[in-house]
Chains A and B, each alone.
Chain A
Amino acid sequence: MGHGGESRRTQAYDGELGAAVARAQKGDEAAFTVAYRLVQPGLLGYVRGLVGDDAEDVMSDAWLEIARDLGRFQGDGAGFRGWTATIARHRALDHLRRQRVRPRASTLEQDVLDLPGPQSTYDQAMESMSTEYALELVGGLPRDQAEAVLLRVVVGLDGPAAARVLGKRPGAVRTAAYRGLKRLAKQLGVESVTDKASRTLGDST
């Protein structure tokens, strides 16, 4: 399951990404721009799942670190996505820690009571899922599942890479991603039939 269309899509870019990173490490700023454009959308999607609307700011910080430490990095295109995802995650967690001092609901923590009305969700979702709705769905998952799903689907990491980013065992991350996706599929499938599904979505986390 984990290797859906997204993984394949990102894997196709990995060769290009790896070459761009290698050139950037030699000082080529155009190559750095290429690398940025290849990984930024996925990273932003992942971080958005972690911190919501502050994702742009968090990624801005993350890129400062990535740009600074690029010389330290060793690896290929896939490795670069894992490495940058790790940095982005740390920045996002820092951000969440700061937020805890100055509380404000993050996407992952907020209650998912404001889901779209049950009568239309499934059809709408399948036609085109809005970013907000997708975030709410993913945000309704337990955190480990949400992160595993995001790293896999949005950043395009494979199981071992996602496991390294999360500091967990590959098996645990694979299971979390599987459960998360299964749960999302169930919610999407059942929600339009019964209102109850949207309640369990919020309650069962």
Chain B
Amino acid sequence: MGERRSDGGRAGRRRAHPEGTAAAQGRPAPVLGGRRAVDAAELEALLAAALIRGGVDAGAEERAVAAFVAARESGAHGARTRRRDDWRARRWRFGSHSLKATLSALVAGLTLSGVAVAGIGVTGSSTDGPAEDGRSTRVPSDVTAPATPKSAGPGAGSGRPDPDHPGTARDTEAHCRAYEQVGGRGEALDATAWKRLTEAAGGAARVDAYCADRLEPDTARPSSTGTPGNGNTDGTDRAGNGAPGNTGEGAPGTPGDAADGNAGSGAGPADDAAGADNADNGENPDAGSGGVGGSGAGKPADQGAQNP
């Protein structure tokens, strides 16, 4: 280290004294590549050399070892590891903040996969026949209409009237609802959702008009959610009918579709709604839209009263 230090000294000294104090020393100037980096390392080495005194005080060492022996004899070394004593691996390298971020990403991922699995379930139940699988409690062929909105909760009635509606459009609509829900303050939305919405609308300023257009047909429709008597007759074809329209999207909560035989689909996404509630905490736009779909049930009902 001494050799490196003297090298660094000359290099630094030349920098400090351009007139050539170092040259006057007559020592051969070392050729150093990347001198700045070397200087930085030299500085650290100098500090370390100055602050770390070689050797340890024998008395202090003895006392420390005596304390160690005493602790060993008293059984103190069997003590439980506290959080601050755990320096294993790299767990501690993630601060609480990033740990939180990691966890929410994990939760969002799990939620999303839950929604996807639920979607598969809905499709499957529709093809296999109604109320045959494990979800039969949720997709009951014999559920009466009054029960349906109850079991589906606010996420009920998610049947889309147009099954050929592309998924992105449904997303956009869901984002529109979310946008509406937060009172037109786009920044309150999930960042991705807001970005997609502005992209779809062609600019933040046009989101209002865009969403108004998208949502108008649905909001104008009178809400029949919670109206008893609709579902019972439709219950028979609901299972076959509802699923293709939604495939567990759960997003667009359009009430009033029970007449189309979609009460069953309303019940199906009830599962999704459960996932979607969790998703509200996550950052996933799709999952978020699921939650939004639920809220749509109440909102369009209000608007339906105003618009027509």
Contact = CB atoms under 8 A, between A and B. Distances in A.
B60 A56 contact: yes
Nearest to B86: A74
Interface in A176-205: 181, 184-185, 188-190, 192-193
Contacts of A189: 12, 15-16
B81 A5 contact: no
Chain B: interface size category: 35 or more
Nearest to A30: B65
B17 interface: yes
A65 B39 CA distance: 38
B27 interface: no
A37 B56 CA distance: 7
A41 B52 contact: yes
B153 to A, nearest CB: 41
B79 A32 contact: no
B31 interface: no
A56 B65 contact: no
B263 to A, nearest CB: 53
Interface string A34-54: 001100111011101100000
Contact of A188 (B43, B64, B76): B43
A64 B69 contact: no
B50 A126 contact: no
Interface stretch (B87-95, B122-130, B136-144, B176-184): B87-95
Interface in B57-109: 57, 60-61, 63-65, 67-72, 76-82, 84-88, 90, 92-93, 95, 97
A5 B1 contact: yes
Interface string A150-190: 10111000001101100001100000000001001100111
A27 interface: yes
B64 A36 contact: yes
Interface in A127-151: 127-131, 133-135, 137-138, 149-150
Nearest to B80: A72
A92 B17 CA distance: 40
A5 B45 contact: yes
B53 A67 contact: no
A24 interface: yes
A122 B16 contact: yes
Nearest to B60: A60
A74 B71 contact: no
A4 interface: yes
B48 A127 contact: no
Contacts of B150: none
B81 A29 contact: no
Given A73-B81, A149-B47, A42 B64 contact: no
A123 interface: yes
Nearest to A43: B52
B87 A83 contact: yes
Contact of B87 (A5, A82, A152): A82
Contacts of A164: 87, 92
A36 B86 contact: no
A73 B47 contact: no
A69 interface: yes
Given A32-B65, A67-B64, A1 B51 contact: no
A66 interface: yes
A160 B47 contact: no
A129 B61 contact: no
Nearest to B6: A127
14 contacts: A36-B56, A44-B56, A46-B51, A68-B76, A71-B79, A72-B85, A73-B87, A74-B86, A78-B87, A82-B87, A122-B16, A130-B50, A138-B47, A154-B48
